[in-house]
Amino acid sequence: MNGHDLSAQSKTIIYDVYCYLKDLVTNNPNGRVGDIFNQTQKCAAEACKVSLSSVQRICAEAYTDDNSLLDGNFVFKDPKRNGTEKSITNVDDFEKDVIRRTVQEFYDKGEYPNCGKLKEALKEKIGFKGSESSLRTILKRIGYKYKRCNDGRRFFMERADIVAARVTFLRKMHNERANKLERPIIYLDETWVNQNHCKKYIWQSSDSKGGLKVPVGKGSRLIVCHAGSAKHGF
């Protein structure tokens, strides 16, 4: 067992075993117990099934300033782990807007907004804790893509049609709310399904006779619309 990988609890147990054996030698210096446990660190290593160097390192660590005393006992610290950054891709509308404005700020300053720079800027603004790969996923979800610039470099650009649609929508919403119209604001959504959509697998006899016949082709596409508002629901 490698001493560098031992947890604080394991170190405490090994050190307690060492102290116990040392007390036996101290209390019985001339007895049989003292002869058996004269080399307390070696005996502690054999009892705990760790290397002698691990016990020596733990004993040395117990007397350093990095550990504190609690009720007369040494409190060890767990080794630091090199963990990976957590994947965080769920952001709300406010955070999405901050990301868009941050990208635009890089453009205004004449800088290339790579994921590393964006991550540091967002960490200061909204406390973003995700990794660069998480940020890359978020950028793609909100309409950005990695494309080549005129000078041959690559950076994130937002599609022009998405920008234009957002501006139009925000202007209409602003006018509606400014006029305080009584009619509710209805939000629309839609999805689609093919006319011949069906399962590919069914239970049938081993001789492949009988059963349902799957239609050939997808058929017509059916559009399913969905509408609702915050006041009236969907």
pLDDT at 167 over 60: yes
Whether 1 has a pLDDT exceeding 50, the answer reads no
pTM over 0.95: no
- Confidence category of residue 171, pLDDT binned at 50, 70, 90: very high
pLDDT at 205: 43
Among the residue ranges 38-47, 65-74, 112-121, the one predicted with the least confidence is 65-74
Q: Report whether 69 contacts 21 (CB < 8 A).
A: no
Distance from C-alpha of 203 to C-alpha of 207, rounded to nearest angstrom:
12
Mean pLDDT of 78-88: 55
Q: pLDDT tens, 28-37?
A: 666 555 555 5
- Percentage of residues of the chain with pLDDT beyond 70: 66
The pLDDT tens digits for 131-142 are 888 888 888 888
Q: What is the pLDDT of residue 114?
A: 81
Q: pLDDT band for position 154 (50/70/90)?
A: low
Distance, CA of 138 to CA of 119 (rounded, Å): 11
Q: Is the dihedral of CA 162, 163, 166, 172 positive or negative?
A: negative
Q: Regarding predicted confidence, which is higher, 112 or 156?
A: 112
Residue 142 identity (one-letter amino acid): I
Q: How far is CA 26 from CA 20, 62, 167, in A?
A: 10, 19, 83
Instruction: Please tell me the least confidently modeled range out of 73-77, 101-105, 209-213.
Output: 209-213
Q: Which among 3-7, 163-167, 216-220 has the top mean pLDDT? A: 163-167
b/e map 4-29, b = 16+ CB within 10 Å: eebeeebbbebbebbbebbebbeeee
Q: What is the mean pLDDT of residues 10-24?
A: 73
User: What is the band of 3 on the pLDDT scale with cuts at 50, 70, 90?
Assistant: very low
Spatial distance between the Cα atoms of 212 and 201, rounded to a whole number of angstroms: 10
Radius of gyration of the chain (CA): 34
pLDDT at residue 168 in the model: 93
